[in-house]
Structure 1
Amino acid sequence: MQGAQSHGFEADLWTLERVGAVVERATGVMLSRTSVWRLLTCRLGWSLQRPGRRAVERDESETARWIAHEWPRIKKGP
């Protein structure tokens, strides 16, 4: 499957509006948001997915170090 950027969108995230725009470009049929939702969920069996809320710059090793060393100190208090 091609991403949203390959269809001319700035971010590689699909929305109902974007799917509807691609369907319209490909078929000439304009679908409402509700119709796109029904097409994706009922007819194709797809489900809603959301991207994870993690920073791209996240450093897993630094996060693990902080949890192991800093959090217990903070939790313990003065």
Structure 2
Amino acid sequence: MEDQRWTLPRIKTLIGCLFHVTYTVEGIWALLKHHGWSWQQPARRAIERDQSAVELWKREVWPTVKALRRLAEPGSPSRMKPPSR
């Protein structure tokens, strides 16, 4: 079955083809929000979902991925050197 989701890039392409105007993806999102549209979430989980594989990934892979994240270091986000004392 073909993917039939309306993604922002697809909406951008459609608007460009129909009206010969160009918007950024962010601009498309702003237009949709302005007209009362919101993102949608599936009402149910996919039939193909393998819950045991998800739990295994959470237990074995996620801790490794999480550990690789850079921890915050103390300091200033400024690029200027601190004054010497």
TM-score between the two structures when normalised by the length of structure 1:
0.52
Of 29, 42, 45, the residue aligned with 2:21 is: 29
1:38 paired with 2:30, answer yes
Structure with greater helix share of residues: 1
1:16 paired with 2:8, answer yes
1:51 paired with 2:12, answer no
Cα shift readout 1:30-66 (whole Å, capped 9, x = no counterpart): 1101110011001x111111224522469xxxxxxxx
Opposite residue 46 of structure 2, the aligned amino acid is A
In structure 1, runs of 5+ residues without a counterpart are 1-9, 59-78
Larger radius of gyration: 2
In structure 2, runs of 5+ residues without a counterpart are 50-85
Equivalent pairs: percent with the same residue?
A: 40
Distance in structure 1 (CA, Å) of the matches to 2:39 and 2:22: 22
TM-score between the two structures when normalised by the length of structure 2:
0.48
